[in-house]
Structure 1
């Protein structure tokens, strides 16, 4: 891999290879190299889980983290994203992790930047590392994708998570369906829409999304109780899920809106497991990208790995 920008660019083999690597990272805790490398985290949008798990992943790999702050950077003086990225590359960053409100912005950067780029979320485009940790959670639960039925439910139109997961799950052989109120459906995605009640009864994985208010063209007011009743995962709907079915959510969770508060940490929920998996997935992606460039971040990884790649 040269960069990690989109789930559409990954083959089934590449996704499974990364999932196996991440699973091994989680089980064996790989050891970092002694000579530090520098990684720059450029976050132009707010983030808790993504930014913090990248930071933990990078430090576990023994990397020095360059923590970019838009507010105190030359972006305030009119510097372009490209020139900011080129500056960090020039001063020694070996990899750039970028979250930005514009879709496809990393695609525009990749031809001029020589170090690997990781997409940490681009507007309404994609969020491929979030998708990978979602996939790892499903993989650990079912040990397969082929034949699984997965419902992605909520604000599909404005969700980069929905887009990345739908593409990846299709690549891996899962049957994907979507569920959303009509104004939040995205007809550009080639997947069928079903009702919330159909989704919970037929699927092995129920993936909920928060309402992306910050990406809406206008403020849409809706009583949270009304939304939960009409489109959310209520206790009654959860009772109709398959016995083995699990609940996912990329977070942040709006308790009592897209999911009943009592279900966030129920027996079916894998929401906090997803968060834990975020560190292993991002360690795997970073180490794989650099290894493909001839730099072994974790020298002991291959020796300790019990998984055939």
Structure 2
């Protein structure tokens, strides 16, 4: 059954498109997508989890049917948190969070905010670290750091002027990404998802890596690292026990876009983690 569509409005007036797979009375699972995706990324996973949860997905600002603010500063993690809070307010109760890629980067910001921790029952993170935690990780200066820097080449590229935008508009970059990850080119992505989403990097990466904050959480976290991820290495994703007091780590077989390529495994991991957190009977 397709989700129902609605919208909520963030603190700065940005309209956020929300999609709900209704299951009244069930625990709420909010899914946050990354770059360059939109909420459609979660459709295969949501269909598998709709019997267990009321699944809520939303288009991150700049993507899909949400508003596309023009200024780069409108894409800061604090603004993204206000969008998430608007989705939480619409849900009206405690939620579990599932996030991928830049969705995970955002969600780490959410779950390490003391004002939000009581509203989040659990967090399943796939292929996305906290930028602040990454800032401390990079200061280690060891071989794991060097390996991650080599995997992060694209971040430097996305900070270049005009060239990345041109590559997306001409279709060169899409073809390169599809070739690297052996993906089908049809992912329900629009040009705006590619171009607007670069502001996520430009508004946040340098600031948080150079001046990381000590962000901690007591929310139960499952950090999932696909072993063939081309962009995020396992040590960066999983070496976070210092910051997350209730941490579970799983290294699984697969590539970066697990929600699309292996939705069954993602659904299984979410069920297992939330059952352990809530002590549900299996």
Per the normalisation by structure 2, the TM-score is 0.36
Structure ranking higher on relative contact order (CA contacts 8 Å, 6+ apart): 1
- Which is higher, the Rg of structure 1 or of structure 2? 1
Per the normalisation by structure 1, the TM-score is 0.34
